[in-house]
Amino acid sequence: MLANARAWLEQDPDEATRTELEGLIEAARSGDDAAIAELHARFDTRLAFGTAGLRGELAAGPNRMNRVLVAQAAAGLAAYLLEKRGAQASVVIGYDGRTNSQIFARDSAELFAGAGVRTILLPRLLPTPVLAFAVRQLGVSAGVMVTASHNPARDNGYKVYLGDEDQGSQIVPPADSEIAAYIARVAGAGPITELPRSDAFELADEALVYAYIVATAAVSDELPGDVGLDVVYTAMHGVGWDTASRVFEAAGLPLPLSVAAQQEPDAAFPTVSFPNPEEPGALDLAMQTAREHRAELILANDPDADRFAVAIPAPEVDGGWRRLSGNELGTLLGWAAAEEEAGTRGAHRTPKVLSASIVSSPALRAIADHFGLGYVDTLTGFKWISRTPDLLFGYEEALGYLVNPETVRDKDGISAATRFLGLALRWKAAGRTVADQLELIAGEIGHYASGQISLRVTDLAERGRIMDRLRSDPPTSLGTDPVTAFDDLAHGDGELPPDNILRIRTAGGSRVMIRPSGTEPKLKMYLDVRGDSAADASARLAALDASVHALL
């Protein structure tokens, strides 16, 4: 292990991680048990390259995010592209405002160019949806976005998209394992100092960003001219504000009041403990700003602006504001998309389809049925949703929405915010609040309610032990509600490819989905019910929540 650590040290170009690793090696040589354990954690395995690319904590070693690991990943991906595309291989690279994002992007550009791949680097830090747009707009073979999205400040990541027949979607099997094999070969062939580098890469023009702004502004409806809306927006210390504000202006939408303390990119995320709009407390500053300015709506993006959140006034709750769940927001956007499609269906040669991940609310399927549209369930992740044929609208409950599949093939928090702001203005012109619109939809399809239980673990193996226990001893009831179906999707279900997910259905119409998180050390349980009223749905959800907790 110490030999591996010293070999890593010799090729590491980063002074900070070199210094840190030198200290660990010296401490381990002197018998420090904590340093020995830390080195084992970093060097006994590698950070896995999968369908989410790479994501992990910034530190030295193959099981952490750093310049050595990124160089190996870039060289491996370059070899894969050259094998698949030959001399036509090309890539566009983007990066956000996290620690080392720009450095990782620059290293990657030099290594791709050095390998003979045509390489385009985005001109500055930008949201992930701009990179996803660029893959399609530039017609390149692949895209790389350096970001850890909404992960803690100490993390960074490396997200990969494919062009050509993949049309700018994130990688899916078998591409992930094929790329991982190329990366492993690079890592085993020698130090990264021997990899060829070149500064002969292109810098994308600002016209590319402007093209994204124009295309995204088009998702907004024709606006009612005599209605205004007081809105607060937060970029969550990320890169969303500059691009989102330009899109709002291009669409003729009212410019929100930005939360000043969270407007500019800051890799330390100083005002939030966890830069994810889903997390408790993440929208506290936005809500405080909304109260001070008597706003009517809060819009939020996560740090790389691929996710989107909304909060609405709620006098009945402490603080007077309530964040909509990802499913509520998906219901609102899905209903609007389906309603408009139903009104213009004759203009389309092919019927359009709604799609959501299997852990998202059954409400979107009910909307599709209501309007006579097709519906497709997918595995979790936009890498699957974005590949749905004839997609009209897709979402996942983790605040990911795709309202413009012809522009990007990934979740896009900026286009979702633009679309939602236009809808909110339309509803206000009709005399309805966002809450009123939710109630109107529930009156048509029923009152759906969703919940989630996240069991955070320190030992990742604990997730597998819980899944194995449930598989070997499936529950026969959840509380007093008999279980009617227990589906292990490890081998697929006839429509979906295999995935590590358990699905439980009950006689009372409840559904529970259980899966390990793909990006965080959690076991996640998704709870869904349908009630005759909001109160009935709430009571059913509370009972289901208590029953699932009893399983753990």
Q: In this structure, which amino acid lies at residue 228?
A: G
CA distance 361 to 537: 13
**What pLDDT, on the 0 to 100 scale, is given for residue 537?**
95
Question: Where do we find the tokens 């960074």?
Answer: 156
Share of the chain above pLDDT 90, in %: 89
**What pLDDT, on the 0 to 100 scale, is given for residue 221?**
78
Closest among 54, 12, 107, 48 to 4, alpha carbons compared = 12
CA distance 27 to 11: 20
Q: How far is CA 293 from CA 253, 259, 297, 530, in A?
A: 19, 11, 11, 36
**What pLDDT, on the 0 to 100 scale, is given for residue 343?**
82
Enzyme catalytic residues: 149
Asked whether the beta carbons of 377 and 356 are under 8 A apart, the reply is yes
CA distance 385 to 133: 16
What's the pLDDT tens digit per position in 304-353? Answer: 999 999 999 999 998 999 999 999 999 999 999 999 998 876 555 678 99
Classified as helix, coil or strand, 138 is helix
Dump the DSSP string for 411-441: --HHHHHHHHHHHHHHHHHTT--HHHHHHHH
In degrees, rounded to 5, the angle at the alpha carbon of residue 351 between the alpha carbons of residues 345 and 356 is: 115
- What's the 3-state SS for 293-332? HCCCEEEEECCCCCEEEEEEECCCCCCCEEECCHHHHHHH
**What pLDDT, on the 0 to 100 scale, is given for residue 347?**
53
**What pLDDT, on the 0 to 100 scale, is given for residue 5?**
97
**Half-sphere CA count of 310, side-chain side, radius 13 A:** 30
CA distance 547 to 549: 5
Q: Which H helix or E strand runs over 192?
A: none
CA distance 254 to 229: 7
Quote the pTM value.
0.94
Asked whether the beta carbons of 8 and 43 are under 8 A apart, the reply is yes
Q: With 0-12 CB in 10 A as exposed, 13-18 as middle and 19+ as buried, what is 294?
A: exposed
CA distance 2 to 330: 50
Q: In this structure, which amino acid lies at residue 537?
A: A
**Half-sphere CA count of 130, side-chain side, radius 13 A:** 33
Pairing of strands 447-456, 155-162: unpaired
Q: What is the arrangement of strands in the sheet containing 400-402, beginning at the earlier edge strand? A: 374-378, 353-357, 391-396, 400-402
CA distance 102 to 95: 6
CA distance 21 to 4: 12
What's the pLDDT tens digit per position in 45-62? Answer: 999 998 779 999 999 999
CA distance 44 to 61: 9
Per-run averaged pLDDT (10 residues), the chain, 552 residues:
96 97 97 97 93 92 98 98 97 98 98 98 98 98 97 96 95 95 97 98 98 97 85 98 98 97 97 93 97 97 98 94 97 97 70 94 97 94 94 96 96 98 96 97 96 88 91 93 94 82 94 85 92 94 94 82
Which tokens is 231 given? 């809105």
The b-or-e profile of 79-95 (16+ CB within 10 A means b, else e) is bbbbebbeeebbbbbbb
CA distance 536 to 286: 31
**What pLDDT, on the 0 to 100 scale, is given for residue 264?**
97
**What pLDDT, on the 0 to 100 scale, is given for residue 519?**
63
What's the pLDDT tens digit per position in 95-154? Answer: 999 999 999 999 999 999 999 999 999 999 999 999 999 999 999 999 999 999 999 999
Which tokens is 530 given? 């349908």
Q: What is the arrangement of strands in the sheet containing 297-301, beginning at the earlier edge strand? A: 257-258, 231-234, 297-301, 308-313, 321-323
Classified as helix, coil or strand, 237 is coil
First to last CA, the chain: 37
Asked whether the beta carbons of 520 and 529 are under 8 A apart, the reply is no
Q: With 0-12 CB in 10 A as exposed, 13-18 as middle and 19+ as buried, what is 343?
A: exposed
Closest among 371, 151, 395 to 275, alpha carbons compared = 151
Classified as helix, coil or strand, 377 is strand
Residues in the chain: 552
Asked whether the beta carbons of 304 and 239 are under 8 A apart, the reply is yes
Asked whether the beta carbons of 438 and 331 are under 8 A apart, the reply is yes
Q: What is the arrangement of strands in the sheet containing 502-506, beginning at the earlier edge strand? A: 447-456, 522-531, 511-516, 502-506, 481-488, 477-478
CA distance 53 to 171: 8
Cis check for the bond before 174: say yes or no (omega within 30 of 0): yes
CA distance 374 to 457: 38
DSSP state of 236: T
Q: What is the set of domains in the chain, with CATH numbers?
A: 1-44 (no CATH), 50-204 (3.40.120.10), 211-222+230-323 (3.40.120.10), 326-445 (3.40.120.10), 447-551 (3.30.310.50)
